[in-house]
Amino acid sequence: MPDAHDVRRIALSFPDTTEKTAWSMPTFRVAGKMFATLPEKETSMAVRCPKTERDELVLAEPEKFWVADHEAFSAWVRVRLSALEDDGELTDILADSWRQAAPHRLLEAHPDLGLASQ
C-alpha cells in the first residue's frame, strides 16, 4: 500500500516538480502550479481531475475517491492512499494530475510521461 513517502518520491521524480508547504500541508507543483497535496495527516492526497471524470471516479470507487466540501466546485479529487493497489496506480494518478498542470513546454519535452502506453 502506497503512503505519503511514496507520493513524495513519485511526485518529485516528475520534471520541474518542487515541494512547498502551503495551508500547513505538503503541496507539489510543476513549474510553480500545484498538482497534488497531502492533506488529512498525509493519509490521502488531492489531485487535479476534470469534474466530469471526478464524478465518475467517486461513483465507481467511493472507497478510494471523494470530494472535499470546499473542493466541490473545483477540479480536484481526494484519494485515500490506503485504498490504492500499488505504486503503479499511484504513479498513474499523480502523472495524470501533473499533465493537467504542466506547461506546454514540459508536455512537449515529455510526451509519454505517465501515459498507460509506456
What are the pLDDT digits (tens) for 77-100?
Answer: 999 999 999 999 999 999 999 999
What's the pTM value of the predicted model, to 2 decimals? 0.93
**Cell numbers that stand for 116 in this block:** 498507460
3-state secondary structure of 80: strand
Cα–Cα distances in angstroms (integers) from residue 81 to residues 4, 16, 53, 73, 74, in the given order? 8, 24, 19, 23, 21
- Does residue 102 contact residue 31 with C-beta atoms inside 8 Å? yes
> pLDDT-derived band of residue 114, with 50, 70 and 90 as boundaries?
low
Distance CA 81, CA 79 (A): 6
Q: Which residue has the cell 513519485?
A: 10
